[in-house]
A and B are shown apart, each in its own frame.
Chain A
Amino acid sequence: MSGTFDGTAPPVLVIDVGTTSSSAAVVAGDTTVLVPEPVTGAATWPSSVFWDGQQMLVGTLAERRKRSDPEAFDSGFKRGLAADTSVLLGPRRFRPVEQIVAIVSTLRAEAERLHGAPIHRAVLTVPASYEPDDVRRTRMVAAAEAAGFQTVELLPEPVAAAFAPIAGAPFQPGDLVLVYDLGGGTFDTALVRIGEHWHEVLGHAALDDCGGHDIDALIASRVSTDGQQWLAPLTSAASSSTPATLRLGMAVTEFAQRVKHQLSDAAVVEDFLMPNTPSYRMSQEELSTLAAPMLGRTATCCTELLARLGVAVHDVTAALVVGGGSRMPAVADLLQRGLGLPLRRVVDPELATVRGAARWVPVSGPRRVSARTSPEPSVPLSWSIPGGGARLLRWLVTPGQAYLDGVPLARVRLPGGAVWDLTASSPGTLDRLLVPPGTDVSAGDWLALARP
């Protein structure tokens, strides 16, 4: 096992587990290969699971089965990672972390099949809102380890996104970039300072109820209102059974999604919920009006973030628009008008995070640290502290300083309050301090290294 990223580097699987969709890419040496969804061939996998009684189906397979048994289906569970309370899928309970394990395992199996060899190392992207001590970070690492990876790294999503290849000139070190990530389930924004090997996240903000799916829900409720006349008989027919009601709801939501996707590049769409229902029409303009309040909130979220960070809009180099939700033409209009920021786009906005993470892997430096070798012998310094333990108050010599036999090297305070000096038992030169002042140390601990 090795961690360099030269020509012989072992492969790394980069994974973006999103609230509604996930993606992954195998990075081996200089090449990056996206892992396609085996059923649809698309680069994004629905973050959906379905418990069929024996195994967990993931992605499109799960989506396909959800109509047959809606209660065994779940998606959007990443939102529940913090509480990690289990949910019922059919007869069994699963915790969100277990559902994530299912997604990551499936991605890993597909990636290994594609790569033709085992992959032991993974990089998972996580929202910037997962702070360093956040339990969700530990759970993401644990999930990836449970999925069989030996080594798991995490990378904040906005940092990854800012590494993604963009149309036009790349960002320069020092640039301030506002990452605008409208995903399927959530909206995240972060201000990052571009660096060569690492982008610094200066601040971040999120709206948990502003995602592409929330727009889908708006469209769906609009469909329900507009088509009340022909929908009502269907609703009353379905109300006799729970699965039928769920199925009808799903059908309306999917119809809304279809309408929205078509409006990405068509001015007007006309479609049918079912072959025997009347046609339904919607224009880009209508969609913009419908989405305007929600998009307005995302713009406010961005301006509030900048204000909180004390950064003026004209100091920001550009807004980087990523996430599947940003395909809506209304988003670009809003950002340009509402924020007054130049926009930078990526080719596939829903893949920006995974593509960027894949590019970060080789530029983030080697992961090998060799032990220090020195021609001179090095000896550890330890002391038989009376009573067995004490708090190190301070070092009385500095590294590089030579000392004689009997000279005090450090001072400690015992639990009873007495101050003792730790002295040298033979002359030498202090090489490295292993323990900083203020640490509780025990008899026999190696506190420093010295050269005799």
Chain B
Amino acid sequence: MAEPILVVDVGASGTRVALVDGDRSGLIREPGGATYVWPSSVCLDDTGYLIGTAAERRKRAIPRRYIDGPRRAVDAQASMWLENHEVTGVQALTAYLTAVHLEAQQQYGAPIHRLTLTAPADYLPGDPRREVLVAAGEAAGFPDVELVSDAVCTALDPETGGGLPAGGLVLVCDLGATWTAAIVRVRGNHTTQLTHHVSAAGHDLDALLINDLRSEGRAWIEPLFAAPGDAGLRAYYEAIDFTRRLKHQLADADEVADHLTPLAPPYRLTREWLAAFAEPALRWLVSSCMAVVSEAGATPEDLSAIVLAGGGARLPMVEPALRAGLGHQIRTSAEPELAVARGAARWSVGAVTRAVPADRPRWRIEPVSWEIPGAVGQLSRWLVAEGHSYQAGEVVAQVRTPDERVFDLIAPQAGTLLAHRAAAGDHVGPVLVAAAAKAPKALAEQPPAQRQRLDVAGSWLLAPDRQRLVECDAAGRYVRVRGVDDGTVISEFVPPPGDAAPHGGRVYIGPEGRLCLVAWDADGWISVWELDSGTLATRFRDPSTPDKVLVDEAQWRLATEAEGKVVGRYRRSAVTTWDLRTGARLEKVNDDAWARRNPGYAARSGADAFAAAATCPDGQLRATASETADGTATLVVHDVATDHEVFRVQGSPGQRVRVGFSADARQLLAVWESDDRSVVDVWDL
């Protein structure tokens, strides 16, 4: 199912290309060159566009029809002139991508329809230049064009991005022709760029070097530049290449010297000189790094990694300056100029995982749809308001077609309109859809989909907010708080092990609505844990090792019941009450009527939203726990408006049932309890 994806990182001076096929990815070499870096050059000769090394080769012959960097035109949103031809950024980029596309297909041997294009960090969403990138990709023959930020790609570079925690912050320093400092939050498919600063520092450094060359070699270079016709321009391009070459050589030499032409005197460049030239750019870089970190609301200590990438990462003075400025280890790879392309390839390998499953359709809603005559129209008005019912044959809405006829949209049968889903004045067509309530008969025929069944040897509680389900082990060994919608565990609490074996546990709603676990062990120690904070609220001991524990949530008191002394023929049980705030013992009574006189004490929470009957928050359904003639617990759901039964589920013998609805009215829940187990069923409504 996975489709091949071409990954292209068009830089201002160099372009990197990778191909992703399934879970494999690899960089593609340029046919004319030996490296993975394709020159970002375009040359327009009489046969059409040449790109990359082919363009570089022609630039000496036709320097006026050569331009380095089609992306610069996109960046500047300006046109370029190739001799007498005006070429827009989108045209130049399209020509470039078309050639790359052809070459990649040739190497791959099959069509490639999908493109991942890296976008400079300062092309934020809404920037028209993003549209230019997409348009160029589409014009180059890719129906699907994905854009991903350079900074995000750098953070995802597998060579430097290992071992990052989910949600970790990465400071990216990408030093190409443009220098970028950006903060990226790494979180799989949701990895995002938070803040960024960019500067033309790389470009400026090259300009400084050219200026130095010009002043050093003034005597011989100016006549070359001033040569008439194409010769002067040719010399200028040669000089740019020359200084770049020297700059790169300084990565592993302290001093380099070379001749621009065989006849020219040598030009020398030392690492010291380069450091002096680069000094302003480095100052910018360190201060921008600090700025992007603080703009992201973080401190350097919060960073999971600092990644240095781009050709500029090879400048020997950059890494030490960053390390000194930020007090952090710097991650950089052996080929820093390939970092963006490798990261983009990794992003593209994950394309199949960037999928959203369809929402589960609502049980009680069905679409009502009308074909708009002539397929287009403007919604004039709704004649039935949301939440109102309509009769068969009633006009629900009116639509005006472009020829100014006004059509009545008629309801074929009676129903209730739940949501319009289009507003008066909206352009609609070819179909107008509204959400209607399903008739009780249809509901009864199509039962709601069961979302899940959760089982515990213990008890369940539906929190009063009806958004959380609380699962409690019968012995109080753990408590899990789950989301009502999908049952995922939001938090888990496991009390630290005590000396004695855990004996029992239940969750109650304590003061200020806090969820609390009341657990007791075989030695009679009773512990009260606050679940949100995981702290022990109180702990006390009933040495009589109670066999029954009851809690009065309103007074926040606990009662233990232990087998008392035998008095005559009777065994009278002893009840001890405790204050759960302090753990203090309040009183001890031997009284058969105690339970009757103290109805607030119960074995399970009275604030539990599971109950014998519940009404859906939207007021449309009522669920009740009932029994069949033979005493089997049954859940029955009625449509409130019509009082028709729309759904029924029967439990097993020996089970008791309680019911509830989620706060958003999207789920129906039932808890089936027997002596040792407790099962929750969740249905989508």
Pick from B146, B189, B373, B395: contact of A1, CB below 8 A.
Answer: B395
A369-B370, A369-B407 known; A434-B395 Cβ under 8 A: no
CA distance A377 to B362 in the complex (A): 12
In the complex, what distance in Å separates the CA atom of A409 from the CA atom of B356?
A: 10
Q: Given A154, A386, A406, A446, which contacts B190 in the complex, CB threshold below 8 Å?
A: A386
Please pick, from B144, B408, B433, the residue contacting A367 in the complex, using a CB distance under 8 A: B408
Q: A132-B402, A377-B446 are in contact. Are A2 and B356 (CB under 8 A)?
A: no
Residue B149 at the chain A interface, CB threshold 8 Å = yes
Specify the chain A residue showing the minimal Cβ separation from B446: A377
A382 partner residues in chain B, CB cutoff 8 A: 358-359
User: Which one of B366, B371, B435 lies within 8 Å of A377 (CB-CB)?
Assistant: B366
A413's contact among B146, B370, B373, B398, by CB below 8 Å, is which?
B146
A418 touches B146 (CB 8 A): yes
Contacts of B353-400 to chain A: CB distance below 8 A = 354-361, 365-373, 380, 383, 395-396, 398-400
Give the residues from 394 to 443 in chain A that come closer than 8 angstroms, CB to CB, to chain B. 394, 406, 408-409, 411, 413, 415-426, 432, 434
Chain A residues with a Cβ closer than 8 Å to the other chain, count? 55
Question: Could you write out 15 A-B pairs with CB less than 8 Å apart?
Answer: A1-B408, A154-B404, A364-B405, A368-B410, A369-B409, A373-B412, A378-B369, A383-B356, A413-B134, A418-B146, A418-B189, A419-B145, A423-B356, A423-B357, A446-B433
Q: B154-189 toward A: CB 8 Å interface, digit per residue (1/0)?
A: 000000000000000000000000000000000001
Contact assessment for A371 and B412 in the assembled complex, using a CB-CB cutoff below 8 Å: yes
* Contacts from A to B (Cβ < 8 Å): 1-3, 132, 137, 151-155, 198, 364, 367-373, 377-386, 393-394, 406, 408-409, 411, 413, 415-426, 432, 434, 444-446, 449, 452
Q: Min CB distance, B8 to chain A, in Å?
A: 13
| B144–A393 CB distance below 8 A | yes
The one of A368, A418, A420, A449 in contact with B433, judged by C-beta atoms closer than 8 angstroms, is: A449
Which chain A residue lies CB-closest to B396?
A371
Pick from A372, A383, A418: contact of B370, CB below 8 A: A372
Q: Are A417 and B355 in contact (CB under 8 A)?
A: no
Whether A153 contacts B406 by the Cβ 8 Å rule is: yes
Inside 8 A of A370's CB, which chain B residues have their CB?
370, 410, 412
- Which B residues are in CB contact (< 8 Å) with A153? 400, 404-406
Complex contact A369–B366 (CB within 8 A): no
Chain A positions within 8 Å of B431 at CB level? 432, 434, 449
- Residues of B whose CB lies within 8 Å of any CB of A are 114, 119, 125-126, 130, 134, 143-149, 189-190, 192, 351-352, 354-361, 365-373, 380, 383, 395-396, 398-400, 402-413, 421, 431, 433, 435, 442, 446
Residue with the highest number of chain A CB atoms closer than 10 Å, among B145, B190, B405, B446: B405
Residues of A within 8 A of B369 (CB): 371-372, 378, 432, 449
The answer to whether A421 touches B354, judged by C-beta atoms less than 8 angstroms apart, is yes
- Complex interface: chain B residues within 8 A of A380 (CB): 361, 365, 367, 433, 435
A378-B366, A413-B145, A423-B356 known; 9 new pairs, CB 8 Å cut-off, are A372-B370, A378-B369, A380-B433, A413-B134, A415-B126, A418-B189, A420-B355, A446-B367, A449-B431
Give the residues in chain B near A446, CB-CB below 8 Å.
Answer: 367, 421, 433, 435
Partner of A137 from the list B119, B361, B404 (CB cut-off 8 Å) is B404
C-alpha spacing A155/B406, complex, angstroms: 11
Q: Which residue of A lies closest to B445 (CB)?
A: A377
Q: How far apart are the CA atoms of A394 and B138 in the complex, in Å?
A: 13
Report Cα–Cα, A54/B69, bound state, in Å. 75
Are A411 and B357 touching (Cβ within 8 A)?
no
State A419–B366 Cα separation when bound (angstroms).
30
Residues of chain A within 8 A (CB-CB) of B147 are 413, 416-418
SS class of chain B's interface: helix, strand, loop or mixed?
Answer: strand
* B-chain residues with CB within 8 Å of residue A445 when the two chains form the complex: 421
Query: Contact: B125 with A415, CB < 8 Å?
Result: yes
CB of A3 within 8 A of CB of B354, answer: no
Q: CB distance B358 to A422 under 8 Å?
A: yes
Residues of A within 8 A of B370 (CB): 369-372
Chain A neighbourhood of B126, CB < 8 A: 415
Contact B358 A369 (CB under 8 A): no
Interface centre among B119, B146, B372, B435 (most CB of A within 10 A): B146
Give min CB distance, B617 to chain A, whole Å.
18
Interchain CA distance A423-B356 in the complex, whole Å: 6
From A370, A411, A413, A444, name the one whose CB has the most chain B CB atoms within 10 angstroms.
A370
CA A417 – CA B131 in complex, angstroms?
10
State how many angstroms separate the Cβ of A96 from the closest Cβ of chain B. 20
Contacts of A422 in B (CB 8 A): 355-356, 358
Residue of A nearest to B116 (CB): A419
- Do B358 and A367 touch across chains, with their CB atoms under 8 A apart? no
**Which chain A residues lie closer than 8 Å to B403 at the CB level?**
198
Contact in complex: A418, B354 (CB < 8 Å): yes
CB distance from B671 to the nearest CB of A (A): 26
Q: In whole angstroms, how far apart are the Cα atoms of A424 and B357 in the complex?
A: 6
Q: What residues on A are CB-neighbors of B351 within 8 Å?
A: 419
Distance in Å: Cβ of B646 to nearest Cβ of chain A: 15
Contact of A371 among B125, B134, B145, B409 (CB under 8 A): B409
Write out the residue numbers on chain A whose beta carbons fall within 8 Å of the beta carbon of B366: 377-379
In contact, B410 and A371 (Cβ under 8 angstroms): yes
B143 contacts A420, C-beta separation under 8 Å: no
Bound-state CA distance A382–B413 (Å) is 25
Give Cα distance in the complex from A153 to B435, angstroms.
Answer: 28
* Residue from the list B130, B368, B435 in contact with A417, Cβ < 8 A: B130
Of all chain B residues, which has the CB nearest A447? B358
| A425 and B360 in contact, given A418-B148, A420-B355, A432-B431 (Cβ under 8 angstroms) | yes
In the assembled complex, the Cα of A151 lies from the Cα of B400 at a distance in Å of: 10
Contacts of B442 in A (CB 8 A): 377
CB-defined contacts of A383 to chain B, threshold 8 Å: 356-359
7 residue pairs, one from A and one from B, having the closest CB atoms: A417-B147, A154-B404, A379-B361, A419-B146, A425-B357, A415-B125, A421-B355
> Do B354 and A419 touch (CB < 8 A)?
yes
In whole angstroms, what is the CA distance A373 to B395 when docked? 16
Cα A367 to Cα B114 with chains together (Å): 46
List of B residues within 8 angstroms of A421 by Cβ: 352, 354-356
Return chain A residues, CB-CB under 8 Å to B405: 153, 364, 367
In whole Å, how far is B407's beta carbon from the nearest beta carbon of chain A? 5
Residues of A with C-beta under 8 A to B411:
371
**Residue among A137, A367, A386 with max Cβ neighbours from chain B (10 Å):** A367
